[in-house]
Structure 1
Amino acid sequence: MDAIRGVIRKMFPAKTLKQVIGQNVSISQQMIERIELWGAMYRGQGPWVDDQVDSLQIEQGICREFANVCLNEMESSISNEQLDKIYQAAIRELNENLQVGIGFGSFCIKPLGGSAVEYVTADRFVPIAFDARGRLTSVVFIQVKRISEDNFYLRFEFHEWNQDLTLRIQNKAYHTSNPISIGSPVELSVVDEWAGLPDDVMYQGVERPDFGYYRNPIKNEVDGSFCGVSIYDSAINLIKKTDVQFGRLDWEFESGERAVHVDVTALQPTPAISGGKSKLVLPKLNKRLYRGLNISKSNGEELYEEYSPEFRDQSIINGLNAYLRRIEFNVSLSYGDLSDVNDVDKTATEAKIAKKRKYNMVKAIQSNLEDCLEDLVYALAFYNGMTRSGYEFLCTFKDSILVDEEEERQQDRNDVAMGVMRLEEYRAKWYGETLEEAAKNLPEVAAVEE
């Protein structure tokens, strides 16, 4: 898969794409390079990762959290029973693909016939045109068929939907032995699985694009286009600093391992008898604990020196948590989603603001996802001959985690009235006090209880 991604990246220059497609594309070279960076980071291969710095895979953690919260208790269905079965099968793997889409900034869901669909990440399609509200209307999907080390077949599948309700689909195939060259045009039939695909076909009366397109609800400051932006784009440098900081923590434990420095004379072979024969053997010492050095002790001094430095781990951990909290702020997560929840030194007001920030981002993601699924449903109906079936698409997001502040406060009041929450707990939560302060500040009539 990495080799195939490499081929796509090398043939992705905007100038080359324009030559193949025959028209301008809605993606810049700068955007192509940023998508490549987001993808590398998602796979734990950020440019700063090396022998000393490992990736904490924060990127996947961010995407997984948003996808899980967004899809938690999502209810979507189609009134037409047959079409609903097709749809439910099509979205079976929605969660894992939404995670990747949030990381790459966007993804497409392309019907393949029946209930089969393909989730296409942003590094495997080229946006051609968007409508006024940012919905993708024309796109080229790229498929790479690798036959051997230097033998590739490339297929460009061009979908163009227009406001006059026409849909045009074109397929072009190329063969190349050099990954940095797009190669020469060939017939689709040279690859068995492409033999039945049309070179050029036009459909009339198509009301929507024949695929679902999702993009993150984040303004594109990379090139100003409607191309989706990764959820962690604004935290790239912070993620780098966090990975490096964890490398420091790892080194602190490794370099601070307890050890005993032993003079080499104490490690000299000594005579031993085994099986009636005399031979020289080394003392049985723990290789991890004992380190042989030329200490050059004399005058009866000890031949051993203990090495047990004081760990500085807490200050490094504090710095790590500071970075994680800043990442949470930048990507609109709540405090404690990534950082140590016991180390989140925030007031109740700040915590509520952070929760509201996450709530707003999740609702925006859900709104864009609903648009994507609505277009997908139409595409499934189109390819299964059900656009005239009178179907209705229903989609609701009843997420119990995303409770509005006033609803949460009212629920806490109900819990107090039921006796399952103490008054001082309520005050501590909503007035930003400690439990001790809250208990002291309770009204006298409420404080006197048997």
Structure 2
Amino acid sequence: MVNELTSITDDPRISISSDEYERIAVAEQYYRDDLGKVKYKNSYGNQQTRDLMSINVTKMAARRLSSIIFNEQCTVTVADDQTNELVNEVFKNNDFFNQYEEKLEESIALGGGAIRPYVDNGEIKLAWINANQFYPLHSNKNEIDEAAIASQTTVTENGSNAYYTLLEFHQWNDDGSYHITNELYRSDSANSVGVQVPLDSLDEYQGLQPEVTLTGLKSPLFAYFKTPGANNKRLDSPLGLGLVDNSKKIIDAINQTHDSFYWEVKMGQRRVVVPAEMLRPGASYGNNEVDQLRPPVFDDDENVFVQMYGDDEMKITDLTTPIRNDQYQQTMDFFLSEFENAIGLSQGTFTSTPSGIQTATEVVSNNSMTYQTRSSYLTQVDKQIKALVVAILELMECGQLFTDGKARWTGDPESVDINIDFADGVFTDKNTQFTQDSQAVSIGVLSKKRFLMRNYSLSEDQAEQWLTELDEEQPEFSNPFEDKQGPDGDTSAGAD
């Protein structure tokens, strides 16, 4: 039998509804600011089209959220020094800390995203997966541990485009083993997945095994990020919602307001009505144009004059209309304020407020909406990065994936202590944190080791080494009141 798919969700192993990916496609259009053309009729009643003069508030909001949630100063420390070095070497080789903020922006805009570690030529690489490439195999779970990942490639064959889709299924067998299935599909249309073809039909998939079974794994080899909050569009879906899904009407109102204001400015340029005789063109004689006895009195390049015919008493009249910038500004601020509330940002993020711009300290002390929203997102980010570390360690244990057949790490990935310092200086005063933690150590509610790990971004082994060095450097305590024995055996108790 020939395996053929129209859409990826037609595969019986994928139980999630195709409506979810139609919703993601709409969110992607808004994120790209690809909102189509505006149709209108001109003064003569002819149908015309033009670009929508929109504001890409989806991109603005996703960028703002990602920048306050994560930055490249973040550090990840893992268990002992050897494990920590292995994991951070993978992050360094993949430029993880610089890439994550950018990919987080896309995930926030579309509702989710995933990271999949894989072995390539003996090195662990990271593949970034958008929301429209990730297909959970079960939609009734809070935790996604089985999924299909789609990768699309367009090539030119015989003068026309051919579209290839690689489907990578991650599933658990009944015996607890981890099964990966690779399937390649080809289509002549971008709107269809097409017919299954051999994996070696594309050079980049030469040597890729159709099926791989791994034993000893406890966690999936991917880490999914889901935007916080319930999916109110489809309650049984494990996928998150993007910024557009519950604010599409508000975004449309913002774009319509901005578009109308742009055309009011364009149509509000200076216009003057003059008698037609004042704009009468000159007569042509041969190749030279000779002015009439009454030449035009205005510059030919001006576009602000309108001819008036049939009125002998017509005088020069200014028809310029004032631009309603105050009304448009108030309308725009109103819709932007609604947008801020809809996506969980504080008032004044995109609009001006009577109190002006707040400092980071004021944001924290006022318990602002932005701070609360950031905390919700940060929980999901922390969860994804820790799941990624576990997946990397799981992969390092699979010696059969490396050319020499040797595992790069052994142990229990799920029991490894993972500490993430987000370096959130915008919201956390480091001096205040240091002072508070020092007081906690002094009263005995925080260990010295945790104090060093938290405030100096040390691993557990590094913190223990610091403490050992401190103990060695401390001078031995000498009690001045201790009885001392003289050379003749007598003791002296010091001063009476």
Q: Which category of TM-score, normalised to the shorter sequence, fits these structures? A: 0.7 to 0.9
Using the alignment, how far apart are the partners of 2:174 and 2:227 within structure 1?
A: 24
> Could you say which residue in structure 1 is the equivalent of 2:101?
95
CA deviations over 1:67-97 (Å, ceiling 9, x no partner): 0000145332444213212123431311111
| 1:63, distance to aligned residue in structure 2 (A) | 0.6
Given candidates 73, 82, 87, the residue that maps to 2:86 is 82
Answer with 57-66 or 372-381: which moved more: 372-381
Given candidates 95, 104, 111, the residue that maps to 1:105 is 111
| 1:201, distance to aligned residue in structure 2 (A) | 1.0
> Could you say which residue in structure 2 is the equivalent of 1:425?
none
Q: How many residues align?
A: 386
> Could you say which residue in structure 2 is the equivalent of 1:198?
209
Using the alignment, how far apart are the partners of 1:55 and 1:278 within structure 2?
A: 45
CA contact (8 A) 2:228 2:380 kept: yes
| 1:283, distance to aligned residue in structure 2 (A) | 5.5
> Could you say which residue in structure 2 is the equivalent of 1:267?
279
| 1:210, distance to aligned residue in structure 2 (A) | 0.6
> Could you say which residue in structure 1 is the equivalent of 2:148?
140
CA gap 1:286/1:389 in 2 versus in 1, 3 angstroms: farther
Given candidates 152, 175, 200, the residue that maps to 2:163 is 152
Given candidates 271, 287, 293, the residue that maps to 2:307 is 293
Identity %: 19
CA gap 1:71/1:116 in 2 versus in 1, 3 angstroms: same
> Could you say which residue in structure 1 is the equivalent of 2:388?
376
CA gap 1:379/1:49 in 2 versus in 1, 3 angstroms: farther
> Could you say which residue in structure 1 is the equivalent of 2:54?
55
Name the structure with the higher helix share.
Answer: 1
> Could you say which residue in structure 2 is the equivalent of 1:64?
63
Q: Provide structure 1 residue ranges, at least 5 long, that are not aligned to the other structure.
A: 1-9, 409-450
Using the alignment, how far apart are the partners of 1:389 and 1:352 within structure 2?
A: 40
Given candidates 168, 177, 181, the residue that maps to 1:170 is 181
Using the alignment, how far apart are the partners of 2:60 and 2:266 within structure 1?
A: 26
CA deviations over 1:367-412 (Å, ceiling 9, x no partner): 11111111212222333444426865320234233359xx99xxxx
Alignment of 1:325 with 2:337, yes or no, is yes
Alignment of 1:400 with 2:425, yes or no, is yes
Given candidates 20, 25, 29, the residue that maps to 1:36 is 25
Using the alignment, how far apart are the partners of 2:378 and 2:410 within structure 1?
A: 27
Using the alignment, how far apart are the partners of 1:13 and 1:159 within structure 2?
A: 15
CA contact (8 A) 2:30 2:244 kept: no
Alignment of 1:184 with 2:195, yes or no, is yes
CA contact (8 A) 1:104 1:230 kept: yes
CA gap 1:110/1:28 in 2 versus in 1, 3 angstroms: same
What is the identity, as a one-letter code, of the residue corresponding to 1:184? V
CA contact (8 A) 1:168 1:203 kept: yes
Q: What pairs up with 1:369-448 in 2 under 5 angstroms?
A: 369-384=381-396, 385-388=407-410, 392-402=417-427
Using the alignment, how far apart are the partners of 2:366 and 2:274 within structure 1?
A: 54
TM-score, normalised relative to structure 2: 0.69
CA contact (8 A) 1:135 1:213 kept: no
CA contact (8 A) 2:14 2:135 kept: no
Answer with 140-149 or 235-244: which moved more: 140-149
Using the alignment, how far apart are the partners of 2:426 and 2:7 within structure 1?
A: 41
Alignment of 1:128 with 2:137, yes or no, is yes
> Could you say which residue in structure 2 is the equivalent of 1:3?
none
> Could you say which residue in structure 1 is the equivalent of 2:375?
363
Q: Secondary structure at the match of 2:137?
A: strand
Using the alignment, how far apart are the partners of 2:129 and 2:193 within structure 1?
A: 21
Using the alignment, how far apart are the partners of 1:163 and 1:227 within structure 2?
A: 25
CA contact (8 A) 1:334 1:355 kept: no
* Bigger Cα Rg: 2
What is the identity, as a one-letter code, of the residue corresponding to 1:94? Y
> Could you say which residue in structure 1 is the equivalent of 2:484?
none
Using the alignment, how far apart are the partners of 2:366 and 2:286 within structure 1?
A: 71
Given candidates 270, 276, 289, the residue that maps to 1:258 is 270
Q: Provide structure 2 residue ranges, at least 5 long, that are not aligned to the other structure.
A: 40-49, 397-406, 434-496
| 1:195, distance to aligned residue in structure 2 (A) | 1.6
| 1:39, distance to aligned residue in structure 2 (A) | 0.8
Using the alignment, how far apart are the partners of 2:195 and 2:18 within structure 1?
A: 23
| 1:31, distance to aligned residue in structure 2 (A) | 1.3
Using the alignment, how far apart are the partners of 1:136 and 1:398 within structure 2?
A: 29
What is the identity, as a one-letter code, of the residue corresponding to 2:60? G
Using the alignment, how far apart are the partners of 2:174 and 2:382 within structure 1?
A: 21
What is the identity, as a one-letter code, of the residue corresponding to 2:22? E
Using the alignment, how far apart are the partners of 1:107 and 1:71 within structure 2?
A: 15
